[in-house]
Structure 1
Amino acid sequence: MPKSRIRKKKSDSYAPPERQATKIDMRAGRRWVAPLMLAMFVIGLAWIVVFYVTQGDLPVEALGNWNIVVGFGFIAVGFVVSTQWK
């Protein structure tokens, strides 16, 4: 049976390059996200509640049942804005 090759050991002087830690500043930027997100949720919910309480007369009578879609639209915008929150 043939003899297997002998592996050469790497020298012990090798050291991996040092990495510098990057600091992420979580306080800066995007302070507008949480208030805007909550505002969209509240506006959408209020729109739907006002529509039901006034039996379709408010907020916009001409839209009819589409007022529900508008309310859910505000809520959907709130969810889209929430993806920007860090």
Structure 2
Amino acid sequence: MRQQRLLKPTRKKETSPRTRLMRLHWAPASVALLFLSGITWIVLFHVTEGSLPVQRWGNWNLGIGMLLLLGGMGISSKWT
């Protein structure tokens, strides 16, 4: 009789949190959402001459729009 080879169990590779961040399925959607939110925030601020989105914040609205854009860029640079 022919002898069968026993298969060795394969080990699962442990992934680091950084590796898991690169393989996220929601990354493209969140990048698009952050980019669109940032652009919308800045455009809305300029078109309404500072009365929207939050009038009290004044020019800080530009900073918030930029932070949204930078957040999208940060996620897009980690995603593969």
TM-score, L = length of structure 2 = 0.69
State how far apart, in whole Å, the 2-side matches of 1:31 and 1:84 are: 12
The offset of 1:85, in angstroms, is 1.3
| 1:45 equivalent in structure 2 | 39
Contact 1:33 1:84 in 2 (8 A): no
AA aligned opposite 1:50: L
State how far apart, in whole Å, the 1-side matches of 2:50 and 2:24 are: 37
**Which of 46, 68, 72 does residue 62 from structure 2 map onto?**
68
State how far apart, in whole Å, the 2-side matches of 1:33 and 1:83 are: 10
Which runs of 5 or more residues in structure 2 are unaligned? Answer: 1-22
Larger Rg: 1
State how far apart, in whole Å, the 1-side matches of 2:28 and 2:37 are: 14
State how far apart, in whole Å, the 1-side matches of 2:33 and 2:74 are: 13
TM-score, L = length of structure 1 = 0.65
Q: Secondary structure at the match of 1:83?
A: helix
Q: Secondary structure at the match of 1:59?
A: coil
The offset of 1:83, in angstroms, is 2.1
Identity of aligned residues (%): 36
Which runs of 5 or more residues in structure 1 are unaligned? Answer: 1-28
The offset of 1:30, in angstroms, is 1.0
| 2:25 equivalent in structure 1 | 31
